[in-house]
Amino acid sequence: MRLFLSEGSPGSLPVLAAAGRARGRAELLISTVGPEDCVVPFLTQPKVPVLQLDSGNYLFSTSAICRYFFLLSGWEQDDLTNQWLEWEATELQRS
């Protein structure tokens, strides 16, 4: 897997925290890209963070990436985790 991040991107911190929970469960390469770099070939606007899976598929929602890492780590998600992810997406990552 390859995780694309950009310095100053509001989604980078929660994604890195979630990736830390899954450490050792899968090989992860972390790449820093510029905020204007288009990582996902089928998106017309640049978007980070992005997780490219080994299958070649992309996850480009911070919440989806965090949930993926939580599943890899074996951590059972509860309502509080989902509430935090939704709050973070709606309040901290406003466009």
Over residues 7-43, the pLDDT tens digits come to 888 888 889 999 998 888 889 999 999 988 999 999 9
For the domain made up of 2-94, give the CATH fold: Glutaredoxin (3.40.30)
Tell me, what's the pLDDT at 69?
93
In single-letter form, the type of residue at position 33 comes to: V
pLDDT at 94 over 60: no
What pLDDT, in 10s, does the model give residues 37-83?
Answer: 999 999 988 889 999 999 999 999 888 999 999 999 888 777 887 78
- pTM listed for this prediction: 0.83
Decide which of 4 and 78 is more confident.
Answer: 4
- C-alpha 20/C-alpha 56 separation (Å) is 22
